[in-house]
Each structure stands twice: as structure tokens, then as C-alpha cells.
A and B are shown apart, each in its own frame.
Chain A
């Protein structure tokens, strides 16, 4: 293993991210946290919990599954569909924060934006990631970055956020 990042470091990054998102919140904006399935879901939940504490009310919440918006149909294996897109709030007029655990090429974000805009017209869309591993292929940059990691395109960045034991959270970078 090349590198391991522990739960404490991840916790601090989540605190900082939620502080930044809360600070940028304008009085009349309707905040919506949107996790990109599957990796972004738990990250989005963590952020939402922290934002609820900071803002005094729970932001809207939803999940986007980009399976049907991918641009590699027929060239890569079919992704497992586990968390269908579900946005149980009015997308139109909201301040949507797309959340993913890792940003790499940027393709996932492009697909998520397409899905989001098929369901309404948000006032604003921002991107929060726990981990930026660089090597972008599209002009997509996150607004909020938990940490930057040094990983080559062939290395594997795995984020493991536990359901009920944040202390055991970890990010590992390994040569695949």
C-alpha cells in the first residue's frame, strides 16, 4: 500500500468542507445535498449531518445514479444499478451540492449534471469531493475539496466510510 489516510484526518476534512459550504450559503437559498451513487452517498450523508448542525435545519437530500447517463455504453462493463436516482425535493431553484467521494476524470460529474438538469433547473450547482486525485479528462473542477491525493492513473484510490463508526473510516491508495 502506498498511502493510508485515517478517520481523524477524514473527519477534519468533512468539518472544513461543511464549514465552507455553510459559509457560502445565502439567506434565501434552498440547499440540497446530492450524493452520486454509490461512492458519494455516505460522503453526502456525513456532510448533511454536519450542515444540519451548522445551519440549524436539515438541507434537502437526494441521490443520483448515473448508470443510464454514462458515455461508455458498449465499451465498459455495465455498472451495477443499486441506488436509483431519487430527488425527493424540487430541483428547480435549489442550490444543489453534488457530492462524490473521489474525483478523477470528471466524467461522472458530467453525467450527474445531465441527470440533474433532466429533473429541473437548479439555481446553482456546486461540486464537493472528499478526495481529488487529479488527472482530469474534462474541464470539471470541484468547488469544495476535502483533500488532494497524489495518485497516478493506474493507482487505486479507495474510500471507505463506515455506516456507524467514523473512527474506522479510511482512504487507501494502492498500486493496482
Chain B
């Protein structure tokens, strides 16, 4: 048997900034193996058998919660989903109580989605078991960034020098922030684009180009990553109307033709057809939106597997 080991010693995944490049590549390597197991008739693997994973979602989510749940179940973990209402939270104190309860349940790992930036790190300091951030406020959504980058690596091999444009609501987006960290770590040239109100020049300090000119941002890009326009909170202040956003920044056929010939179109979902992307384009061969969903399971299996593996604090019922 091989004595070589993967470079991974981390029990928590809070944000991409914490990771070095080799750790990101380790996640991809493990995810690739897990993705192959998804083609089997029996998709379940015994890696996390006997472990309990708590899916703690204090903010609405469908895709991420389900992807984590499937990932944990494919690894044979027992999964408990707790869905809280953000409005009833008295942030810190309630989270502390919740954490204590989860520990008392003898859970082995917590996946946390929370409206407050920093909540997962706060929780990590409170409990001894692994904590995985499934999105906190406008701060980070590390597994989304990892699955996006993995989808790009699958398509292009190396991301060195690849031009990737992130378009839309950058200001409030944890997906954009995590993606900027992840893609620049892997050597990509990232441009953030959209209306000036949603794409402030301060993002330039993260090592990306900031553009308010759509043609300039899309021309010769290898990939465009669209972000959902969260119209529930933005219509009144950040741009005059959804219609105007679409006419100025929505991706349509003509604008997609500015991209490179083999460029791909990405979206973390849920998509607003006809707002940030033309419906036909979302279903076109250039769209990898559904590949992202599939890769999201493999990436989350890899993260769960690695973080659980690195957690030496938990007692296990393994054969010694």
C-alpha cells in the first residue's frame, strides 16, 4: 500500500483565504475520485459510517443544503438538518446555545449557513468538532467557490492566465468574494463587472480588475460567472429597475459572442431567467450550470471526507 499522504491537516473549512494552493488542489484531487464513484450503481461509500453530520441552516437555501445532505449521505454519514429562521435569531447568543446543544447530541461535524459574517468561525472556536461554512453573510461561501473553480479546471486544465469575468451583484456576494480568492490563488486573471453601485472600485485591492463596461469585461474572456440579482433588496437603491439591469448588464446572445469561442457560462443558481441571463443561453451548450451542480456534490464529499479525516479529537468506533 502506498505510504504517501495527502497534504491536509485542517478540520474546519471557514473561507478560501485560509487555504493554500496545494490544499485547494488536494480538494480537487479527492473530488475527482468521488466524482467517478457517482457513476456507479451503488453510489454510497462507507467513509463516514457511524458519524453524525448536522446541517445547520439559519438562512434559506435549497441547493447548498441538499448538496451537502447528498454528499454526507453518499459517505454513509447520518445527517440531521436543522433549519432556523433568521428573523428569530438573536445572533451570537442563540448560536452559542445551539452549538452547545449540537455538541450534547454528540454530533461529529457541523455544516453552518448563517446570515451573519463570521458566524462559522465563532462556532468553530466554541466546539471541538469540524465546522464547515456553507455561506456566512456577505463574507464567504467556500464550497461554492471550490466547485466553480473545479468546474473551470475540469474544462481548461490549468487556470493560469485564464480570463474569468464575474458579472453582477459583486458588492453583496459571498460567492464573488470566495471566487476571487480561489481563482486568483489558482493563477486566473479575474475581472469583476456590473453597475458601479454593485461593483465598487475597492475590489481592485483583492487583485482583480474592476470594470463597469460590459463589452470590455466580456471581450476575450474564457469564462463568465453570472451572479443572481437579489432584487428583493436591491431594486430600490442600486439600479433603477430589473428591466434596466437586463438591458445594461444581462447576458444575451450578442454579448456572449464577445467571449472567446470556447468560453463557458457559469451561474451558482438559482438563475433568474430573462434577468441576468437570457433563457436560451442558460440552456445552450456553453452553459455549464448543471455541471456545477454535479460538481458541487463531489466537492462537498471531498471537503467532508478531508475535514473528518483530519479531526483527531473525535472518538471513533474504528477498528484500531
Contacts and interface: CB of A to CB of B under 8 A. Distances in A.
A, B from the same assembly:
yes
Interface string B1-44: 11011101000000000000000000001101110110011101
Interface in B141-195: none
Nearest to B315: A74
B318 A82 contact: no
Interface string A54-93: 0000000000010111111111011111101110000000
Given A73-B316, A81-B30, A119-B41, 18 more contacts: A37-B2, A65-B33, A67-B33, A68-B34, A68-B46, A69-B47, A71-B319, A72-B318, A73-B48, A74-B316, A79-B2, A80-B2, A80-B4, A80-B5, A85-B37, A86-B36, A118-B40, A119-B40
Contacts of B34: 68
6 contacts: A38-B1, A68-B33, A74-B309, A74-B312, A79-B4, A119-B41
Interface string A142-162: 000000000000000000000
A108 interface: yes
B318 A38 contact: no
Nearest to B108: A74
B45 interface: yes
A87 B65 CA distance: 32
A81 B33 contact: yes
B2 A39 contact: yes
Interface of B: 1-2, 4-6, 8, 29-30, 32-34, 36-37, 40-42, 44-48, 75, 305-306, 308-312, 314, 316, 318-320
Contacts of A71: 318-319
Given A38-B1, A69-B46, A79-B5, A84 B33 contact: yes
B6 A75 contact: no
Q: Which interface residue of A65, A80, A102, A114 has the most chain B CB atoms within 10 A? A: A80
Nearest to B30: A81
Contacts of A114: 46
Interface in A4-25: none
Q: Which interface residue of A38, A73, A82 has the most chain B CB atoms within 10 A? A: A73
A80 to B, nearest CB: 4
A65 B8 CA distance: 19
B306 A78 contact: yes
Contact of B42 (A36, A78, A118): A118
A157 to B, nearest CB: 11
